[in-house]
Amino acid sequence: MAVIKPFCAVRPNGAKADKIAALPYDVYNREEAKAEVEKNPESFLKIDRAETQFPDTVDTYDPRVYQKAHDTLWEMVEKGSFLREEKKCYYIYTLTMDGRTQTGITACASIDDYETGVIKKHENTRAEKEQDRINHVNICSAQTGPIFLAYRSNPVINEVVAQVQKEEPLYDFTAEDKVRHSVWMISKEEQITAVEEAFAGIGEIYIADGHHRAASAVRVGQMRRKEHPNYTGEEEFNYFLSVLFPDEQLMIMDYNRVVKDLNGMSEEEFLVKASEIFEVEEVGKEPVRPEKKGDFSMYLKGSWYRCAIRPEDQPDDPVEGLDVSILQNKLLAPVLGIQDPKTDSRIDFVGGIRGLKELERRCSLDCAAAFAMFPTSIQELFAVADAGRLMPPKSTWFEPKLRSGLFIHELEQ
């Protein structure tokens, strides 16, 4: 049984929402984040990445940076840039990109559900990446970036969403990346009860994106429990900020690979090796996308090739049967010598949002070959998580990205 609760949000004053809302903290490097804050001084990045308010000589993880994030956030609340909701509500958060819409419920998920596996994971996390957000959440005493969760579509939730979306939205703006963001409040008691009970009946929730943020939020919750040994379980630090989307609306984009060299082989020798493993057909100079699971495209020496995984080489296993696993296990490891894609500097990853031309560009700069993948499906992600397994690195790329700063969850109220 999943516990998905309404909460009293701290959220932008309506007139400022479009200026405050920012892409997630980990989309930018320090230089890019600083440029973004200089361009838009109200951007939430000045809180999520408070090092932008310091000279470059100050380390990103300096304690002063986290304290600055805290001070900036609560100063903005005090000055009216944000308001505090007085009633616990759910929120509907709709993102529209390229004419396609996905609609989620903004709520708080239970750290106990994370610990017991009701909220299922498909990636490992790294302690050093967690620590940054642990410090940020703990010192701000608030979660500022929602975790992207997924669930199997539910008719009761769908009906409540349809009813509420007939009303005027709280926010409705199009960001500079052309993604439209719209928010409604679910505030009627009968609707809140219906949503809460529907999630309790779903039973299984999946982390789609934001594993490190989720792990960090849970760690902070555990820390607060130690500080409050008589906690009841109802305190806000027992929950973490999330947006939950039904599976039928989610789009996973391709996450493509580029390799720096061919492990000492010429292009011709490598092509022969690849053709021994996969069915390979040259298709010309124009980029070609894979059309179905089991297919990928390869860019080599100025030409595109359509490649097919042979049926006998597709294992009936939720992890080993992923296209990214087959490419890694059949070609990248044994032929190119890339044994661990997480640590090998000879491989890089390119999100599908950048397009196939980016693969050509990389091959003209610093890479020898590129591989365009067919996107992993949400059903494949669910199957891996249901099996208690982990996906290979860089298996999924979700778009559009949730904006930070639209919803803030206070840990102590």
d(CA 59, CA 51): 8
Give me the pLDDT at residue 129, please: 83
d(CA 122, CA 108): 20
**What are the residues facing 120 on neighbouring strands?**
206
**What is the β-pairing status of strands 147-151 and 239-246?**
parallel
pLDDT in tens, 83-92: 999 999 999 9
Give me the pLDDT at residue 182, please: 98
d(CA 342, CA 328): 12
The domain ranges of the chain are 4-251+399-410, 255-374
Q: Give pLDDT < 50 ranges for the chain.
A: none
Measured in degrees and rounded to the nearest 5, phi and psi for residue 248 equal -65, -15
Confirm if 333 and 341 have CB atoms less than 8 A apart.
no
Give me the pLDDT at residue 203, please: 81
Give me the pLDDT at residue 15, please: 87
Residue 186 to residues 60, 83, 202, 241: CA-CA distances in angstroms? 38, 17, 19, 16
Question: 3-state SS string over 167-196?
Answer: CCCCEEEECCCCCEEEEEEECCHHHHHHHH
Confirm if 347 and 257 have CB atoms less than 8 A apart.
yes
Q: What is the SS3 assignment for 31?
A: helix
Single-letter code of the amino acid located at 275: S
In 138-268, beta strands by DSSP E: 142-143, 147-151, 171-174, 180-186, 205-209, 239-246, 252-253, 255-259
**What are the residues facing 347 on neighbouring strands?**
259
Give me the pLDDT at residue 127, please: 83
Please state which of the four CATH numbers 3.30.1760, 1.10.10, 3.30.479, 3.30.70 is assigned to the domain occupying 255-374: 3.30.1760
Give me the pLDDT at residue 72, please: 98
**What is the β-pairing status of strands 10-12 and 82-84?**
antiparallel
pTM of the predicted model as reported, rounded to 2 decimal places = 0.92
pLDDT in tens, 169-222: 999 999 999 999 999 999 999 999 999 999 999 989 999 999 999 999 999 999
d(CA 170, CA 15): 10
304-334: burial string, b at 16+ Cβ within 10 Å, e else:
bbbbbbeeeeeeeebbebbbbbbbbebbbee
Give me the pLDDT at residue 71, please: 98
